[in-house]
Amino acid sequence: MSILALDIGFNCTGYVFITPYSDGSVEFEDVGWIAYKKPSKKRDIRKSNVLVDQAQFVYREMLEQALKSEGMIIEAPHGGAQSGNAMRAMGMVLAIAASVAEQTKRPTEWMVPDDCKISVCGRRDVSKGQIQNKLQQLYPGIVPWVPVKRDGSVNAGKWEHVADALAAYHCAHNGTLVRLLTKEKESSTVSLF
C-alpha cells in the first residue's frame, strides 16, 4: 500500500499511487484518472439525474482508489471558476473527497494549487506545461506513465490531472503524512548465514 495523491475534479480526477522510501527515492505503483462518461443526449434523461449519477460514480471510483492506500494527499480546487456550473462541480467534488477521506479514515493532507506550483517551480505564475516538464525532471519514474498520442506528443488532457496529483504529492513530500508513511527499502542482497 502507498500514498494516493489526487487532483480532484468532477469531470476528471487524476491520481498517482506513490511509495516514498527513506533514501529519498519513490516508486510509482499506479497512475490514472477517474472520468465520467456522460450519457448521450436523450430527452428522457434529466440533468439532475445525470449530476447524481456522476456524483455517485466519482464517489465509488474515488472510494475504491482510497481503500488501496495508507493515506491521501489531495489538491483541493481553489474556487476560481467562472460559472455557476463550475462552482457547483467544484463544491460537489470537494464534498465527495472529504466524504471518502472521512469514510476510509485515511490520514489526509489537503494542498492548495498555488502552493503546489510554488513547490514544483518556485513561483505560482507558471503554465501547466512548465509544471509537467519540471515534474518529469524531478520524478523520472513517472515518464513511462505519461500518456502519449500516436505521433509521440503528450496527451495533455489526461496527463494534466495526473501531473497535478503528482504536484500535490511533491508539495507535501516533506510533510508529516509522507514522513509517517515513508518505507525502508528492502535490501536486494541475500545473506547466506
pLDDT string in tens for the chain (193-residue length): 599 999 998 888 999 999 999 888 899 999 988 998 877 766 556 667 888 899 999 999 999 999 999 999 999 887 666 788 888 888 999 999 999 999 999 999 999 999 999 999 999 999 888 898 899 899 988 877 776 667 766 667 778 899 999 999 999 998 999 999 998 766 544 444 4
Q: How far apart are CA 141 and CA 153, in angstroms?
A: 18
d(CA 89, CA 3): 25
The CATH fold of domain 2-181: Nucleotidyltransferase; domain 5 (3.30.420)
Q: What pLDDT is recorded for position 44?
A: 53
| Domain chopping of the chain, boundaries | 2-181
**pLDDT score recorded for residue 61:** 95
Task: State the pLDDT at residue 186.
Answer: 63
Closest CA relative to residue 32, chosen from 55, 54, 61: 61
The confidence score (pLDDT) of residue 4 equals: 96
